[in-house]
């Protein structure tokens, strides 16, 4: 582990210098809040899939990173996986987030596991397998994580293509009416509030329906 603390620009330069053309793009985000407007830095690095593990090794050389989570987007013909790390935690106002983003074409959704470098990553890798349909090569535990056992194979909830959640699987709770097959209540029930009746009342009391509050 290196004791020297790099600035966000130096971190980006280090990766750009080390991996050259394998880096597709870098960006440093900055956010300042409060009265003193203290800056927080977010480093974003887009890279080749093959460079993911070498890049994480290079990051470990800087400072053993904390893996926040792996997130992923369906970009149409590819899946973009983002590995969100933080380095230099424990240093007052000196922590940066470092995000490595890799694009996986939908024809080959495989990515090596990083759990040999960061054991805690298994959890997030299992989630990406079931929610995005990527294949994590060498994952020590490939079981499902959050989805129920009876969830159909081949459906990945975060995908925006045909393998996403089909309309038929969605329960629109707002569209469900009050159940009618319940046993009679011990006391006589007050009539259910119908939206129309409510509107009528509002008109009678001089209020215009729909004027109050925002409509979504």
Partner 1 sequence: MSDESKKAPYTMNIGPIHPALKEPVMFTFVMEGEMVRDVDFAPGQAHRGIEWMGMRRNPVQIVHLTDRICGICGVSHTLAFSRAVEQIAGIEVPERADYIRSIIAEFERIQSHLLWAGVAAHELGFDSLLHLTWRVREQSMDVIENLTGNRVNYGIVQVGGVRRDIVPEQHRVIEDCISTYGGLLGKLLNLFLDDRTVSMRCRDSGVLSRQEALELCTVGPTARASGVNVDLRQDYPYAAYGDLDVKAVLPDQHLGETHGDVYDRIVVRLLEVGQSCQIIQQCLSEMPAGPVTAEEKVAKLLAICKKATGEAIGRVEAPRGECFHYVRMEGQEAPHTWKVKASTYSNLMSWIPMLKGEQIADIPIIVASIDPCLSCTDRVAVVRDRSRSILTKEDLHRLSVEKTRRLQR
* Cβ burial, residue 94 (10 Å; 0-12/13-18/19+): exposed
165 binds partner 1 (CB under 8 A): yes
3-state secondary structure string across 12-74:
HHHHHHHHHHHEEEEEEEEEEECCCCEEEEEEEEEECHHHHHHHHHHHHHHCCCEEEEEEEEE
Q: Tell me the CA distances in angstroms from 39 to 13, 29, 32, 35, 164, one per residue in order.
A: 20, 10, 5, 11, 39
Residues 177 to 206: which contact partner 1 by CB under 8 A?
Answer: none
Q: What is the largest CA-CA distance in the chain?
A: 77
How crowded is residue 116: how many other Cβ atoms within 10 Å of its Cβ?
11
Q: How many residues bind partner 1 (CB under 8 A)?
A: 50
Is residue 158 part of the contact set for partner 1 (CB under 8 A)? yes
Report in angstroms how near the CB of residue 69 gets to partner 1 at its nearest: 4
| Integer Cα distance of 13 and 58 in angstroms | 12
CB of 67 to partner 1, least distance (A): 5
Shortest distance, position 90 Cβ to partner 1, whole Å: 4
| Residue selected from 10, 38, 110, 201 as contacting partner 1 according to rule CB under 8 A | 38
Site for partner 1 in 84-143 (CB under 8 A): 84, 86, 88-95, 97, 99, 118-123, 143
**28 near partner 1 (CB under 8 A):** no
Task: Report the nearest approach of partner 1 to the CB of residue 164 (Å).
Answer: 9
- Token pair, residue 167, equals 């309309």
Q: Which is nearer to partner 1, 36 or 178 (CB)?
A: 36
Residues that bind partner 1 (CB under 8 A): 29, 31, 33-38, 40, 42, 44, 64, 66-69, 71-74, 82, 84, 86, 88-95, 97, 99, 118-123, 143-148, 157-158, 165, 214, 216
């Amino acid at each position: 582990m290196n004791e020297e603390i790099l600035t966000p620009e130096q971190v980006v330069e280090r990766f750009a210098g080390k991996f050259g053309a394998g880096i597709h793009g870098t960006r440093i985000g900055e956010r300042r809040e409060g009265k003193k407007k203290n800056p927080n830095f977010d480093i974003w690095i887009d890279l080749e899939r093959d460079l993911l593990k070498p890049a994480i090794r290079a990051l470990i050389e800087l400072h053993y990173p904390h893996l926040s989570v792996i997130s992923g987007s369906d970009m149409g013909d590819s899946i973009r996986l983002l590995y969100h790390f933080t380095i230099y935690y424990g240093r007052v106002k000196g922590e940066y987030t470092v995000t490595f983003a890799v694009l996986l074409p939908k024809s080959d959704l495989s990515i090596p596991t990083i759990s040999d470098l960061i054991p805690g990553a298994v959890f997030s890798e299992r989630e990406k397998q079931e929610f995005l349909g990527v294949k994590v090569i060498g994952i020590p535990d490939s079981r499902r994580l959050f989805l129920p056992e009876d969830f159909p194979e081949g459906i990945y909830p975060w995908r925006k293509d045909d393998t996403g959640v089909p309309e038929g699987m969605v329960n629109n709770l707002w569209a469900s009416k009050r159940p009618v097959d319940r046993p009679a209540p011990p006391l006589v029930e007050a009539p259910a509030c119908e939206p129309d009746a409510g509107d009528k009342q509002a008109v009678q009391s001089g209020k215009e329906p729909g004027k109050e509050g925002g409509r979504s």
